[in-house]
Amino acid sequence: MMTTAIYDDRRGRLETYFNKTAVDAWAQLTSNSPVSKIRETVRQGRDQMRGLLMSWLPREMSQAVLLDAGCGTGALSVAAARRGATVVAVDIAANLVDLARERAPVDLSPGVVDFRVGDMLSAEHGEFTHVAAMDSLIHYPADEILRVLGALAGRTSGSIVFTFAPSTPLLEVALVMGRLFPRSDRSPAIEPVTEALLRKSIAARPEFAGWRVGRTAKVSRGFYTSQAMELIRS
Ligand SMILES: C[S@@+](CC[C@H](N)C(=O)[O-])C[C@H]1O[C@@H](n2cnc3c(N)ncnc32)[C@H](O)[C@@H]1O
């Protein structure tokens, strides 16, 4: 798939952010070490979200190949490998992929999780039974999210589970204020999307012919809010 200028721009900014600016904070957030109360809510929300996405994937995955698109430090990849899946774990931030490799439990068979530095959309990653994209599309505008999902749908035989930032009035206010007070270490903006827009676009776009929206659920814990959606081959 051809990428767009917006996609390339966002991916570049996310690489800088996750590979340099926020790498230590992200390493800590995704570890077991103590964090601030605010970050603890984010950690709990993220754990809940990972559990939710995993609950939508089969219990037994020994015949499955899963793409963990934007794998970060690799927790979901490891959870899928524990169910027997072969995992292609891709992230644009090389330092996070290094951390994911270091953290991978020693009792996992070598090669079961193939950690790769790169773009989740690269055709070289092959074809998949399932794709998981946990909070890795939340910084892309709706149109880009749909392009990414559409491209991955063409290479996926089973299901795609992903998250988006649900659009709520309060979040819109926070984002406007955030833009009024820019800070150099601020994370790239989160792009809120409505469930209705995703549903409408998925029903209408030809890339999703043969796919339907399955379950959807929101996770809200303190400073963490994210909504999961499942796409299934119908
Ligand atoms: C909020 S983190 C979530 C990481 C992981 N999925 C988790 O839940 O722990 C988003 C991740 O997506 C990665 N990412 C964003 N766009 C990407 C792209 N186009 N290709 C590969 N990785 C990407 C970022 O580098 C970052 O590590």
What are the φ/ψ torsions at residue 144 (nearest 5 degrees)?
-70, -40
Q: How would you label 180-219 residue by residue, b for 16+ Cβ within 10 Å and e otherwise?
A: eeeeeeebbebbbbeeeebeebbeeeebbeebebeeebeb
Span 53-67, pLDDT tens digits: 999 999 999 999 999
Q: Which atom of ligand 1 is nearest to the CA of 18?
A: 25
Q: Partners of 68 in the beta sheet?
A: 89, 132
Q: Which residues of the chain have pLDDT under 70?
A: 1, 169-186
For ligand 1, atom 15, the nearest C-alpha belongs to 136
Q: Which atom of ligand 1 is nearest to the CA of 93?
A: 25
Which pLDDT value is given to residue 172?
A: 61
Paired tokens of 230: 């499942």
Which pLDDT value is given to residue 176?
A: 58
**Model's pTM, two decimal places?**
0.95
Which pLDDT value is given to residue 2?
A: 77
Q: Which atom of ligand 1 is nearest to the CA of 120?
A: 20
For ligand 1, atom 1, the nearest C-alpha belongs to 135
Write down all domains in the chain, each with its CATH number in brackets: 5-233 (3.40.50.150)
Which pLDDT value is given to residue 184?
A: 54
User: Does ligand 1 have an atom closer than 6 angstroms to the CB of 165?
Assistant: no
Which pLDDT value is given to residue 223?
A: 87
User: Does ligand 1 have an atom closer than 6 angstroms to the CB of 144?
Assistant: no
Which pLDDT value is given to residue 19?
A: 95
Span 84-123, pLDDT tens digits: 999 999 999 999 999 999 999 999 998 999 999 999 999 9
Identify which of 201, 213, 12 has the alpha carbon closest to the alpha carbon of residue 119.
12
